[in-house]
């Protein structure tokens, strides 16, 4: 589904997010020195830290806070039969249309997103409408070859989703994990899709990372768990600071359902380009396990000791994108305000997501302040991820920390040298208090553990 029309004006444009990401080293267009390669991005220092925190919070919710899910890390290259069994070889296609005038290609079902080629700039000179060919199906899987000989026997695919790696390991996991349904297998990893319509920064790229979990349940319990996981996944986003108003669940209509799904709902976020999918939650039934059992000849079922019978569990799948989640967190956190006549730009990120939690800054680079600040920095970083920043005006250093979303700033000044206290500055309220340096570690660790809500909610 393309982004729905939304009457609310976006608080931030995608261009502003892109500019901040570039300016502060979060994300760069890939292969930039060679002119770039479409829709592929490289993550710089703060981008890596933020991304790791998104993944860390997912692992925390899926593994750290429960006992019924285990982790997996399956290979990107899998046996080609996997994609036959899963239906991807046959059915993982998008309808592609070409414009005979401008030569551009579009997804027939997303012409409005692509703005088609109807823009005059795409048809230089006289304004013309795109002259579109009929749609033909285009498989989104990237094909590659394993081994030196390029024949059909060695054709392999870069996985277009991580889920199949979980299904093909169902038997392995069941043996060692000694779980019984309901139980889940989770993984985070790269997936690849040769998308026709890309764009919107890291929203839709050809190489991206997914956070997927397959939850295996007794068939009769599938509807209950489907609804449970919709609630849980919505809560994950709101607990991490996404505002309710910008988030909604949208159930797929019968015409939208994938070949494997009996029910799917998308968690949608109000991105600057409109409501768009952030995560999909699907009731996949027993489709995948049955298909792999059929194609591999292996039994993929659970033997219920109490009832003395075997059954194929049904599967509920929450499937999220790391990159899309990261974009949503940044969009929701982006803010500007006027402070003493100057514009301040900041990311009001949940402290647990913030790439850096505390910045230790000597007020000036003299009078023993840098040395004392470095000592304090070493103590603080032993407790929470921190950064030391010296040089340039204090105002400039704070602006930088605000833009990367650092929730707490610690300034070492003249008074520190006399009484051992520092200034602790809050990113959101700009309130400053004096705190004994030796209390900082405990204070910040406690603050980090507190529940948090977006200050934009007032």
Chain residues in the site for ligand ATP (CB under 6 A)? 161, 193, 195, 204-205, 208, 210, 277-280, 319-321, 323-324
Contact 411, 369 (CB under 8 A): no
- Structure-block tokens of residue 203: 């929203």
Taking the complex as a whole, the smallest distance from the CB of residue 32 to ligand ATP amounts, in Å, to: 19
Least spacing, CB of residue 65 vs ligand ATP, in Å: 22
Give the three-state DSSP class for 71.
strand
Question: In whole angstroms, how close is the CB of 37 to ligand ATP at the nearest point?
Answer: 15
For residue 386, the minimal CB distance to ligand ATP (Å) is: 31
Which residue's CB is nearer to ligand ATP, number 141 or number 361?
141
Least Cα distance to 197 among 290, 276, 127, 255 occurs for 276
Least distance to ligand ATP, CB of residue 51, Å: 13
Closer to ligand ATP by Cβ: residue 2 or 80: 2
Are the beta carbons of 326 and 51 closer than 8 angstroms?
yes
Residues with Cβ within 8 Å of 155's Cβ and at least 6 positions away in sequence, in order, are: 80, 143, 144, 145, 146
State in angstroms the smallest separation of the CB of 256 from ligand ATP. 9
> Least distance from C-beta 278 to ligand ATP, angstroms?
6
Residue 7 C-beta: closest distance to ligand ATP, Å: 22
C-beta of 93 vs 296, nearer to ligand ATP = 93
- Separation of alpha carbons 377 and 441, rounded Å: 10
Helix pair angle (45-59, 322-333), 10° resolution: 110
Continuous H helices in 154-221? 163-167, 170-177
CA separation for the pair 17, 327 (Å, rounded) = 9
**Per-residue tokens: 394:** 């204090």
**Closest to ligand ATP by CB, 271 or 388:** 271
Please say which residue, 280 or 370, places its beta carbon nearer to ligand ATP: 280
Minimal distance in Å, beta carbon 23 to ligand ATP? 23
Instruction: Give 114 or 346: the residue with its C-beta nearer to ligand ATP.
Output: 114
Could you tell me where the DSSP H helices lie in 382-436?
Answer: 394-404, 414-419
CB of 90 to ligand ATP, least distance (A): 16
Tokens of 144: 């590659």
Q: Which is nearer to ligand ATP, 139 or 416 (CB)?
A: 139
What is the closest distance, in whole angstroms, from the C-beta atom of residue 93 to ligand ATP in the complex? 12
Residue whose CB is nearest to ligand ATP in the complex, by number: 321
Q: Which is nearer to ligand ATP, 57 or 413 (CB)?
A: 57
Given a contact cutoff of 8 angstroms between Cβ atoms, the answer to whether 85 and 291 are in contact is: yes
Residue closer to ligand ATP by CB (options 195, 239) is 195
- Using alpha carbons, select from 320, 315, 166, 162 the residue that is nearest to residue 234: 320
Q: Judged by CB, which is closer to ligand ATP: 170, or 192?
A: 192
Return d(Cα 428, Cα 447) in angstroms, integer.
Answer: 14
> In residues, how long is the chain?
458
Comparing CA positions, the residue from 349, 355, 361 lying closest to residue 452 is 349
| Helix (H) / strand (E) containing 27 | strand 27-29
Single out the residue of 269, 282, 257 nearest to residue 324, CA to CA.
269
Query: Judged by CB, which is closer to ligand ATP: 157, or 302?
Result: 157
Closest Cα partner for 21 from 387, 328, 327, 348? 327
Enter the tokens of residue 421.
């206290």
| Separation between Cα atoms, residue 362 and residue 50, nearest integer Å | 25
């Amino acid at each position: 589904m393309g982004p729905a029309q939304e009457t609310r004006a976006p608080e931030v444009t995608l261009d502003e997010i892109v500019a901040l990401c570039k300016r502060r080293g979060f994300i760069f267009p890939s292969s930039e020195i060679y002119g770039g390669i479409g829709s592929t991005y490289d993550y710089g220092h703060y981008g890596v830290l933020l991304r790791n925190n998104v993944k860390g919070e997912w692992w925390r919710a899926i593994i750290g806070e429960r006992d019924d899910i285990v982790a997996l890390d399956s290979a990107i290259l899998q046996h080609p039969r996997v994609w036959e069994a899963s239906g991807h070889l046959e059915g993982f296609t998008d309808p592609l249309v070409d414009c005979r005038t401008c030569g551009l290609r579009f997804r027939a079902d997303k012409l409005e997103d692509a703005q088609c080629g109807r823009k005059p700039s795409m048809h230089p000179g006289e304004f013309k409408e795109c002259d579109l060919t009929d749609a033909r199906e285009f498989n989104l899987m990237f094909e590659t070859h394993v081994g030196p000989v390029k024949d059909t026997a060695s054709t392999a695919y870069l996985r277009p989703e991580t889920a199949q790696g979980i299904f093909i390991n169902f038997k392995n996991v069941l043996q060692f994990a000694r779980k019984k349904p309901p139980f889940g297998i989770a993984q985070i990893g790269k997936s690849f899709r040769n998308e026709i319509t890309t764009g919107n920064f890291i929203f839709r790229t050809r190489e991206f990372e997914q956070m997927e979990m397959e939850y295996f349940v007794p068939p009769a319990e599938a509807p209950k768990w489907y609804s449970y996981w919709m609630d849980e996944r919505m809560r994950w986003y709101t607990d991490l600071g996404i505002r309710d108003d910008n988030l909604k669940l949208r159930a797929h209509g019968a015409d939208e359902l994938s070949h494997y799904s009996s029910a799917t709902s998308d968690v949608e976020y109000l991105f600057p380009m409109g409501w768009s999918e952030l995560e999909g939650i699907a009731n996949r039934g027993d489709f995948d396990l049955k298909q792999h059992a059929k194609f591999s000849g292996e039994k993929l079922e659970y033997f219920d000791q109490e009832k003395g019978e075997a059954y194929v569990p049904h599967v509920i799948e929450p499937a999220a994108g790391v990159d899309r989640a990261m974009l949503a967190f940044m969009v929701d956190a982006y803010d500007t305000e006027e402070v003493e006549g100057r514009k301040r730009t900041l990311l009001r990120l949940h402290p647990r997501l913030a790439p850096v939690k505390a910045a230790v800054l000597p007020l000036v680079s003299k009078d023993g302040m840098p040395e004392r600040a470095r000592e304090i920095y070493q103590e603080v970083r032993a407790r929470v991820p921190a950064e030391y920043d010296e040089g340039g005006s204090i105002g400039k250093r704070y602006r930088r920390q605000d833009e990367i979303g650092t929730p707490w700033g610690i300034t070492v000044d003249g008074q520190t040298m006399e009484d051992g206290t520092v200034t602790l500055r809050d990113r959101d309220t700009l309130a400053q208090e004096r705190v004994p340096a030796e209390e900082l570690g405990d204070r910040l660790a406690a603050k980090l553990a507190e529940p948090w809500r977006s200050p934009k909610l007032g």
